[in-house]
A and B are shown apart, each in its own frame.
Chain A
Amino acid sequence: MRIQRVRYLVQIIFLFLLLYGGYLGLRFNNFLPFWSCPNSLDHASACYLLPLQRFQYGIDTYLKHPLPFPAYFIIQGWKAYLKFFLSLFIFIIVFNKVWCGWVCPFGTLQDGISFIRKKLGLEEIYFPEKTKHILKPIKYISLLIFMNAPFLFAFGFKLDWPLFCKICPVKSILPFSYGNTLNISVGFPPGTLFSILTCIITGFIIVALFFRERFFCILCPVSALFNFFQRISFLQLKKNIGTCNNCGNCWRVCPLDIKEVYLERKNANIIKDDCILCLKCIEACPQEGALAIKFFNKTIFTLHKRPNKVIKKSCLGGEGG
C-alpha cells in the first residue's frame, strides 16, 4: 500500500498548506487552481465555487447595465474571470480529478473521519443502487442552481451574495480547525435562516461522513464541475479488458463505491463521475497491468507481479462482498 502512504502524506501537506498557509505569508491567487475555503481566516486561496458565483454577478450587472462588449470586458475586469476559467480548464485537462483524491482539504478531513470509524471497528453503510441513482444528479443540480441563482438578482431578488457558500458545510467545519466558530453560529437578521440551515446541514454531514466514506464527494459541486471535462483530460484511468479477471476487488476497495470500474467490459477509459483518483483500485487489482493511470497514453502507475488475492469485506446495505 505504498502509493496510499504517499497519497496520505501529500494530503496532509496540502491540508496544512491550504488551511494555514496564510500564516506563512502564502497567498495563492484566488483564480489559480488552489482551493481553500475563503471563510478560513488565513487561507492560502479561495474555493473555485466563489469566483464562479461572483462571475454570475458580473453577467447580471452586464444585463442590467449594457455596455459595448469589449468595453465591458475592460471596465468590469472580466479578465480575472477569463483567467479563472482558463486556469480551471488547464488544471482539469492536465491533472483530471487528482485534486479530489490528493489535495482537497475537506477530502482529507473525510478520510480522517473514516480512519477513526475503521479504528473503532464500525461498519460502513453502503447505499443501494436506487439511492445512488437518486443522489447522483444532486451535485449537478446544485451546481446549476448555485451558478445561476445570482441571475435572480436581475429580477429583483436581493441575492448579492454567494448562495452556495451560505449553506456549505465546509465553511463551518474547516474554520473550526483553528477555533473559528463564527460560521457555526446563528446570525441574527439578516441571515438567520441560512445560518440555521448551515448548522443543520453541518450536523447531518458530520454523521454522514462518519458512516459513509467520502459522502460529501457524492454531493460536491466542484466535482460536478470537473466531470464536464474529465473525459478529455490527459490523465486517465485505463482498464485492460482482456487482462481483467472480474474479481471485483476494484469495486470493493473504492471509497465512492463505483461499481462501473468492475462492470466495464467495452471501454478502456473507466474514469467515472464520482472517481477521486485515489488509486486504491489499482493497488487492489490482482491482475498485472489490468488497471493503470496513463498520461498521454503513457503508463505512469500500475501494479506489477501482485499475488492473486480477492478482497472481501462486510458492509451494511448495498451489495458488498
Chain B
Amino acid sequence: MNSLHISKLFIFILFFVYLTFANSYADSSKDDYLWLEFTKEDINYAGSRSFFIYYGEFPFKRKAIQDFESLESFYTFGEKDKNGRDIFYRIKIEAEEDRPYIKVSSAKENWCMLLVKYKKEIGGTIYEYLAKTSFFIFSNNKYTEQGNPADMAIGPNKFLDIRIFRERINEELTYNRIRGYPIRATLLFDNHPINNQSVDIINSQGQLQSYKTDKKGNVIYNLLIANKYINGEYEYDLILATFTSAEKIYKSTYTVFFIHGANSGEKSHYFKRTSFSHNVGMGISICIISVLITLATVLVIRKKAKI
C-alpha cells in the first residue's frame, strides 16, 4: 500500500467520522422536548404556583437553555373573549440557579393553564417547542397582591396543541369502569385533529407507553401515576408529541399532574381516582340486612307450614 492509498483511506475515515458526528449532532435534538415541572417549594404554597422549565430528553437528560430570551410564556384562566377565544396573559420568565422558572399568582382560587414556547434552529430546521400544563391555584387569605400584571397577549397560534379531558374507560368484556385515572388526550395542529400520530406518555420514573391517535386525534389511556408525591415531589405523567409540517417541526408536551385541571372550557374538572368510589362495608351491610329479612320471611313460612 503506497502513501496515496493510505492518505485516501485516512480521508475516508475522517469523512466517515464527520458524518457520524454530524448525524449524532443532528439527531441529538430528535428526542428533545420542553416541559414544565412544579418546583419543590410549590407543594405547600397557596396563592401561586411555580414551575421550572426544562429542556432535553425527559425525564433524566436535561439540557441547559442558553437563550432565555427566546422563551415565551402565556397563561389563561379560561376566560373567553367575544369571539370565543381564550384570553391569554404574558408572564415573565425568571431564573433560579440558571434554570428558567415561572410563577403564576392569583389572589383568588382559580384554574389556570400555562404554556411556554421555545423556538430553536438546528441544522437549518426550525423546531417549535411547546410545554403546557394546567393546575389549580388555591386561595391564600394572607396573599394580598393582585396577581401578575394583566399583560394581555395574543396567545400562540399555529402550534401543536395537546388537550386533556377526563374519560371513562370500560373493560372490554364486562364494561366495568377501569379503576384509576383514565384521561383522553387530543392532538390538534392549528385546531385541527391529527390522525394516526404517535403520542408517548412517560412518567417521572421513565416508564413509557406509546399510542397512536384516532381520526379525532384522540388517545385514551390510564394515567401511569400511582401516588401524588414521590420523594417529596409531585408525581406526574408527560405526554409528548411531534408534528412535522413543511416548514417546521413542532414538539409539544403536556405535564399531567396527580390533581389536575382539564383544558380550557372545563374549569375545575378534576380527575378522581375511581377506586375510591366503592363502599364495601355498606354493600356487605345491605347484603346482611337482606339476608336477615329473607331469613325472617322463610322462618315465618316454615312456621305456618308446620302449623
Contacts and interface: CB of A to CB of B under 8 A. Distances in A.
A185 B277 CA distance: 10
Given A46-B173, A316-B306, A203 B294 contact: yes
A184 B174 contact: no
Interface in A158-175: 160-162, 165, 172
Given A30-B173, A50-B173, A316-B302, A204 B282 contact: no
A182 B302 CA distance: 34
A181 interface: yes
Contacts of A201: 290
B109 to A, nearest CB: 25
Interface stretch (A192-200, A277-285, A299-307): A192-200
Interface in B145-180: 170, 173-177
Contact of B278 (A39, A172, A188, A316): A188
Given A39-B174, A162-B174, A195-B283, A207 B298 contact: yes
A160 to B, nearest CB: 7
B285 to A, nearest CB: 8
A185 B280 contact: yes
A96 interface: no
Interface in A45-78: 46, 50
A321 interface: no
B284 A184 contact: yes
Nearest to A197: B286
Interface in B176-211: 176-177
Interface in B88-146: none
B301 interface: yes
Interface in B272-291: 277-280, 282-284, 286-291
Contact of B291 (A38, A39, A50, A206): A206
A295 interface: no
B280 A211 contact: no
A186 B291 contact: no
Q: Which of A125, A184, A186, A208 has the most CB of B within 10 A?
A: A186
B64 interface: no
Nearest to B276: A188
B13 interface: no
A195 to B, nearest CB: 7
A186 B281 CA distance: 8
Given A38-B174, A50-B173, A161-B170, A186 B287 contact: no
A317 B176 CA distance: 41
B216 to A, nearest CB: 16
Interface in A252-292: none
A207 B278 contact: no
A134 to B, nearest CB: 15
Contact of B301 (A30, A125, A184, A196): A125
A306 to B, nearest CB: 33
A281 to B, nearest CB: 25
A249 interface: no
B263 to A, nearest CB: 23
A191 B277 CA distance: 10
A196 B255 CA distance: 38
A60 to B, nearest CB: 14
A236 interface: no
Nearest to B282: A186
Nearest to B279: A186
Interface string A120-150: 0001010000000000000000000000000
A208 B294 contact: yes
Given A30-B173, A207-B291, 7 more contacts: A125-B298, A125-B302, A182-B278, A185-B282, A204-B290, A204-B294, A206-B291
Interface of A: 30, 38-39, 46, 50, 123, 125, 160-162, 165, 172, 181-182, 184-188, 191, 195-196, 199-204, 206-208, 211, 316-317
13 contacts: A46-B173, A123-B302, A125-B302, A184-B280, A186-B283, A188-B277, A195-B283, A196-B286, A200-B290, A203-B288, A203-B290, A203-B294, A207-B291
Task: Report, nearest first, the 8 A-B pairs whose CB atoms are least far apart.
Answer: A203-B290, A207-B294, A185-B283, A199-B286, A185-B278, A161-B175, A185-B280, A203-B291
